[in-house]
């Protein structure tokens, strides 16, 4: 019985540990004023699973670290779009 309990606890812990933190850089071409980065950052920070957001106004980019078990890149892009700033993964040719 103790072995089954121990194995169950191990499985639970491994599920938590397997959540991988991912990073992405989004290009946000509509950031044209000094208030825009604040709006974009707030919209991304509201997404569950987002751990870190850094906005670089000069390059019109957003660097985001997130838990891929909770959210994904499409959700991040949707958040910026809903805030009025459509984005794409930097380097994508869309």
Task: List the CATH number of the domain containing 54.
Answer: 3.30.70.100
Residue 42 has a pLDDT of 98
Quick: pLDDT tens for 19-38.
Answer: 689 999 999 999 999 999 99
The first and second tokens of residue 19, run together, are 């959540």
The number of folded domains in the chain is 1
Quick: pLDDT tens for 36-68.
Answer: 999 999 999 999 999 999 999 999 999 999 999
54 contacts 82 by C-beta, under 8 angstroms: no
In a domain, 31, yes or no: yes
Residue 50: partners with Cβ closer than 8 Å, 6 or more residues away: 44, 64, 65, 66, 71, 76
In a domain, 49, yes or no: yes
- Give the number of C-alpha atoms closer than 13 A to the C-alpha of residue 60, restricted to the C-beta side: 14
45 contacts 53 by C-beta, under 8 angstroms: yes
In a domain, 39, yes or no: yes
């Amino acid at each position: 019985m103790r072995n089954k309990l121990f194995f169950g606890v191990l499985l639970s812990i491994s599920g938590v540990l397997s959540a991988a933190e991912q990073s992405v850089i989004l290009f946000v071409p509509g950031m044209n004023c000094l208030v825009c980065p604040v709006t974009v950052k707030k919209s991304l920070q509201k997404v569950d699973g987002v751990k870190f957001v850094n906005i670089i106004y000069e390059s019109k980019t957003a660097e985001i670290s997130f838990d891929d078990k909770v959210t994904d890149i499409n959700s991040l892009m949707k958040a910026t779009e809903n805030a009025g700033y459509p984005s794409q993964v930097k380097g994508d040719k869309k």
